[in-house]
C-alpha cells in the first residue's frame, strides 16, 4: 500500500476562490433584504441566501477535488454528494435564522458561526466519504480539529461583521472586501484540509498525470448547482427590483409611489435644490361617492384622479398616493408663485367631470402647501405643515388651496388640544345646556325653547360651539354628547312642568352622525321614559343636508319618531341642497327660516324668499319659525308676510337654567 499527497492545478484553485467569493457576495446581497421584510418574505430571503451560499461552498468543494492531480481513478456516490449539499444549505439557513432572529449580538454570531462552521465541516466530510477509490483516506486528528475550529471561528467572525452592511442592499465596497476575505479563508481552509489528508492506494501509478477522472453525473451536478446558485441570486435580485420593490413602494390601485416610496424619494432626490414644495391633496366628499355608487366606482375615480395629477405635475416632480383619497405631490424645485400656479391647475383640472361606467361624476379637492426651507428642512416637518394647511382649506369651504403659515399652526395646535380635552369633557361634566325662547309675536307668549350646547372649558372658559361642534362631529364624540343632552333636556323640561314654570316643547339639534345607525329611536324613547316627559314636548331639529343624505333611511327613522309623538323641525331652510320636490316626503312639523334671510330682509330678493318659504309651510300645513330676529322692522315685516313665531336676541338670548326661570316670570310665559 502506497501513500502520497496531492498536486493542484492553479487555475482551478483560482476558480474555486472566485466561486466562493461570488457566492458569499450574492448571499450577503440577499441577506440585506431580510431586515426590511417580515413573515414569509423574510424567510424567502434567508432561504435564497442559504441556497446560494450552500451551493457555492458545495461546488467549491468538488471543484477543489478536481483541481488535484492524482495518478489513479476515483468515482463518487451521488447520494452522499447530494446529502452533503443539503447539509450545507440547511446549516446555512439555521445560522442565518439565529443571526437575524433578533438584533445581532456577539453570542448570536457565535451560535450562528458554530452551526455554519460545523455544517461546512460536515459537508466536507460527507463529500469526502462519497469518494470511491481503490484505497482510502486517513485524516490526522489534529488537523481535523484545527479545521473545524477554524471553520467555526471564521464563520462567527463573518456573521458578526454582517452587522456593518446587512441593511444595505445596494453595492458596497466593504461588502466586496468581505466576500473576498471570506473567499480566501474558505478556499484556504479547504485546501489545507485536503493537504492534511493522507490518500492511500493499492495499485501502481499510471503513465501520465491527468485530472481526476470524475463521474459525468457529478460534473453535471456541480455545473447545474453553480448555474442554480447564479440563477437564484439573479432571480432574487430581479424579483426584488421588479416585483417586490414595486409591491413595497407602489400603490397597487393607481400605480403611484406609496408612503414607502415617498420616504425613499425624500431621502434621495427631493432636497437637492435650493427650494421645493409639498402639496397635500384631499378629495372633497369622496366618501359620498363610495357610499352611493360603491367602492368599485370610487376606485376607478381615484385612478382617473391619479392620472390628472400626474398630468398637472409632469416632469416637475412626483405624485404619491398616501391612502384613501389622499395624495401628495413633491416638487423639488418650486417657488411660491410656481406652487400657487400648480395648485390652481390642480383645482381646475380635478373639478372637470368624470365619466365612469355611465356615471357623470364631479369632485373637487382641497390642497395644503408647504415649502422648503421656509417651513422645514425634513420630510416630517414639511408634511405636517402641508397637512395643517390642508385643514385650513377644508375648514374655509373646500375646493381651495392654502399655503402654510404660523397662524395655521397655532390654530391646529389649539384644535388638537381641544380635541384631547373634548374627549374628557363629558366625564368631567363640563357641558351645559342653554335655552333660547321661541316667541309668538301676536300672543306675546313663549311657545317653545331651543336647547343649545355650551362647553365650559376649565382653562379657556366658554368655547364657541362653532369651534368645538365640528371637532365633535368629525371625531364622532357628538353622538354620546347628544345622548347626554337628550336626557338632560327631557329631565329639565319635565321639571319645569312639575313646578309649573313652563309648559312648552324644547327642541334639540341633531347631528348627521345620529342617523348613521338605527339607534336614535331607542335613545329618544329611553330619554322620554326616564324623565317621564310626554313625547310632543320634545322636538328634534335637523338640517336639509341631514334630510337629503340617505333620504330613505332618514325619513324612515323620523317617521318612526313622529309616530311616537316627537316633533321634527327643519332648520336653516333655504340654505341647503334639498329639492322642493322632496320636501313633502320628509316628516316635518316646522320649517325654520335661516337668519341669513332675516338679516338681509330689506333686500327685495331676500324678502321674496322669506315670503315663499312662509307660503310653502302654509300649503304643507307646517308651522314656520324665523331665526335671528333682532329689530322691530324685522318683526313687522315677518308679521306682514304671515310669520308670527320668532326666535332671536330681540326676544331673548340663550340663557342657562337658573336665568331662564326668572325670564319666564318676567315675560309671563304660559304655564
User: Are residues 228 and 267 located together in one domain of the fold?
Assistant: no
pLDDT at site 86: 80
Beta partners for residue 281, in sequence order: 327, 367
User: Are residues 109 and 226 located together in one domain of the fold?
Assistant: yes
Q: How many domains does the chain have?
A: 3
User: Are residues 282 and 227 located together in one domain of the fold?
Assistant: no
Cα angle, residue 176 at apex, residues 175 and 180 outer, rounded to 5°: 120
Q: Is residue 252 part of a domain?
A: no
Cα angle, residue 345 at apex, residues 340 and 348 outer, rounded to 5°: 125
Question: CA 464: distance to chain centroid?
Answer: 33
Q: Is residue 251 part of a domain?
A: no
pLDDT at site 9: 63
User: Are residues 386 and 422 located together in one domain of the fold?
Assistant: no
Class of residue 310 by CB neighbours under 10 A (exposed 0-12, middle 13-18, buried 19+)? middle
pLDDT at site 40: 72
Of 113, 94, 85, nearest to 43 (Cα)?
Answer: 94
User: Are residues 435 and 373 located together in one domain of the fold?
Assistant: no
Domain final residue, candidates 369, 404, 439: 404
pLDDT along the chain (671 residues), means of 10: 51 70 73 68 76 74 62 64 77 73 64 68 67 59 65 63 58 66 65 60 44 45 60 58 62 88 82 84 87 87 94 91 92 90 94 88 92 87 91 86 86 87 93 94 91 94 91 91 96 91 91 86 94 95 78 88 93 64 81 89 88 90 92 92 93 91 71 38
pLDDT at site 370: 93
What is the C-alpha to C-alpha distance for residues 396 and 368, in angstroms, rounded to an integer? 12
Q: Could you give the C-alpha distances from 251 to 220, 363, 405, 591, in angstroms and in order?
A: 44, 21, 31, 48
Domain final residue, candidates 404, 434, 455: 404
User: Are residues 598 and 483 located together in one domain of the fold?
Assistant: yes
Q: Is residue 350 part of a domain?
A: yes
User: Are residues 520 and 664 located together in one domain of the fold?
Assistant: yes
Question: CA 437: distance to chain centroid?
Answer: 48
Mapped onto helix, strand or coil, the DSSP state of residue 628 is coil
User: Are residues 235 and 264 located together in one domain of the fold?
Assistant: no
pLDDT at site 11: 67
Domain final residue, candidates 246, 267, 297: 246
Q: Is residue 68 part of a domain?
A: yes
Q: Is residue 237 part of a domain?
A: yes
- Specify whether the CB–CB gap between 456 and 477 falls below 8 A: no
User: Are residues 392 and 506 located together in one domain of the fold?
Assistant: no
Of 353, 351, 340, nearest to 279 (Cα)?
Answer: 340
User: Are residues 454 and 420 located together in one domain of the fold?
Assistant: yes
Q: Is residue 409 part of a domain?
A: no
CATH code, 582:
3.20.20.450
What is the C-alpha to C-alpha distance for residues 382 and 368, in angstroms, rounded to an integer? 11
pLDDT at site 205: 45
Name the grid cell of 436. 333660547
Q: Is residue 348 part of a domain?
A: yes
Question: Domain range holding 235?
Answer: 7-203+212-246
User: Are residues 499 and 617 located together in one domain of the fold?
Assistant: yes
User: Are residues 400 and 431 located together in one domain of the fold?
Assistant: no
What is the C-alpha to C-alpha distance for residues 17 and 68, in angstroms, rounded to an integer? 15
Phi-psi region of 278 (alpha: psi -120 to 50; beta: other; left: phi over 0): beta
pLDDT at site 283: 93
Per-residue burial over 126-149, b if 16 or more Cβ lie within 10 Å, else e, is bbbebbebeeeeeeeeeebeebbe
Per-residue burial over 192-225, b if 16 or more Cβ lie within 10 Å, else e, is ebbebbebebeeeeeeeeeebebeeebeebbeeb
pLDDT at site 478: 93
Q: Is residue 524 part of a domain?
A: yes
Amino acid at each position: 500500500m502506497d501513500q502520497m499527497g496531492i498536486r493542484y492545478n492553479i487555475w482551478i484553485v483560482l476558480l474555486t476562490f472566485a466561486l466562493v467569493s461570488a457566492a458569499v457576495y450574492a448571499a450577503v446581497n440577499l441577506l440585506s433584504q431580510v431586515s426590511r421584510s417580515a413573515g414569509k418574505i423574510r424567510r424567502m430571503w434567508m432561504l435564497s441566501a442559504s441556497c446560494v451560499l450552500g451551493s457555492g461552498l458545495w461546488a467549491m468543494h468538488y471543484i477543489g477535488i478536481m483541481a488535484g492531480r492524482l495518478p489513479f481513478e476515483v468515482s463518487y456516490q451521488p447520494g452522499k454528494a447530494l446529502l452533503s449539499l443539503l447539509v450545507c444549505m440547511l446549516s446555512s439557513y439555521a445560522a442565518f435564522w439565529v443571526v437575524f432572529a433578533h438584533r445581532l449580538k456577539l453570542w448570536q454570531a457565535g451560535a450562528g458561526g458554530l452551526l455554519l462552521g460545523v455544517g461546512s465541516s460536515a459537508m466536507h466530510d460527507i463529500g469526502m466519504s462519497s469518494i470511491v477509490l481503490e484505497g482510502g483516506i486517513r485524516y490526522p486528528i489534529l488537523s481535523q480539529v484545527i479545521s473545524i475550529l477554524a471553520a467555526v471561528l471564521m464563520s462567527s467572525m463573518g456573521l458578526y461583521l454582517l452587522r456593518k452592511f446587512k441593511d444595505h442592499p445596494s453595492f458596497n465596497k466593504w461588502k466586496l472586501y468581505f466576500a473576498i476575505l471570506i473567499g480566501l479563508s474558505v478556499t484556504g481552509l479547504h485546501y489545507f484540509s485536503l493537504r492534511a489528508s493522507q490518500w492511500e492506494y493499492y495499485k501502481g501509478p499510471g503513465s501520465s498525470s491527468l485530472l481526476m477522472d470524475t463521474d459525468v453525473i457529478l460534473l453535471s451536478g456541480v455545473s447545474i448547482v453553480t448555474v442554480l446558485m447564479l440563477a437564484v441570486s439573479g432571480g432574487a435580485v430581479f424579483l426584488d427590483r421588479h416585483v417586490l420593490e414595486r409591491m413595497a413602494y407602489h400603490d397597487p390601485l393607481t400605480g403611484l409611489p406609496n408612503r414607502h416610496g415617498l420616504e425613499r424619494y425624500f431621502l434621495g432626490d427631493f432636497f437637492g435644490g435650493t427650494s421645493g414644495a409639498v402639496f397635500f391633496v384631499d378629495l372633497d366628499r369622496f366618501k359620498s361617492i363610495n357610499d352611493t355608487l360603491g367602492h368599485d366606482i370610487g376606485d376607478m375615480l381615484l385612478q382617473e384622479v391619479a392620472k390628472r395629477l400626474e398630468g398637472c405635475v409632469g416632469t416637475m416632480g412626483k405624485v404619491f398616493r398616501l391612502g384613501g383619497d389622499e395624495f401628495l405631490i413633491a416638487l423639488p424645485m418650486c417657488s411660491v408663485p410656481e406652487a400657487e400656479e400648480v395648485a390652481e391647475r390642480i383645482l381646475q383640472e380635478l373639478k372637470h367631470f368624470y365619466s365612469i361606467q355611465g356615471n357623470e361624476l364631479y369632485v373637487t379637492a382641497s390642497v395644503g402647501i408647504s415649502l422648503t426651507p421656509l417651513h422645514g428642512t425634513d420630510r416630517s416637518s414639511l408634511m405636517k405643515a402641508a397637512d395643517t394647511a390642508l385643514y385650513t382649506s377644508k375648514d374655509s369651504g373646500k375646493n381651495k388651496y392654502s399655503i402654510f403659515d404660523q397662524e395655521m399652526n397655532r390654530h391646529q395646535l389649539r384644535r388638537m388640544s381641544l380635541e384631547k380635552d373634548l374627549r374628557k369633557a363629558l366625564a368631567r361634566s363640563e357641558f351645559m345646556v342653554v335655552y333660547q325662547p321661541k316667541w309668538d309675536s301676536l300672543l306675546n307668549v313663549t311657545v317653545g325653547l331651543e336647547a343649545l350646547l355650551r362647553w365650559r372649558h376649565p382653562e379657556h372658559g366658554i368655547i364657541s360651539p362653532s369651534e368645538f361642534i365640528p371637532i365633535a362631529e368629525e371625531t364622532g364624540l357628538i353622538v354620546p354628547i347628544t345622548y347626554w343632552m337628550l336626557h338632560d333636556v327631557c329631565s329639565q323640561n319635565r321639571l319645569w312642568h312639575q313646578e309649573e314654570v313652563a309648559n312648552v316643547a324644547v327642541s334639540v339639534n341633531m347631528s348627521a352622525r345620529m342617523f348613521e345607525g338605527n339607534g336614535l329611536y331607542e335613545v329618544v324613547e329611553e330619554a322620554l321614559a326616564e324623565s317621564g316627559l310626554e313625547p310632543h314636548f320634545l322636538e328634534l331639529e335637523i338640517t336639509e343636508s341631514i334630510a337629503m343624505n340617505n333620504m330613505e333611511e332618514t325619513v324612515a327613522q323620523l317617521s318612526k319618531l313622529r309616530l311616537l309623538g316627537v316633533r321634527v323641525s327643519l332648520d336653516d331652510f333655504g340654505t341647503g341642497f334639498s329639492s322642493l320636490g322632496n320636501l313633502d316626503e320628509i316628516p316635518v312639523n316646522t320649517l325654520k327660516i335661516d337668519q341669513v334671510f332675516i338679516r338681509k330682509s330689506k333686500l327685495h330678493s331676500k324678502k321674496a324668499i322669506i315670503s315663499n318659504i312662509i307660503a310653502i309651510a302654509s300649503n304643507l300645513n307646517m308651522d314656520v319659525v324665523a331665526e335671528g330676529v333682532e329689530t322691530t322692522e324685522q318683526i313687522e315685516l315677518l308679521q306682514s308676510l304671515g310669520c308670527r313665531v320668532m326666535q332671536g336676541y330681540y326676544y331673548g338670548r340663550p340663557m342657562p337654567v337658573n336665568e331662564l326661570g326668572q325670564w319666564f316670570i318676567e315675560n309671563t310665559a304660559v304655564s
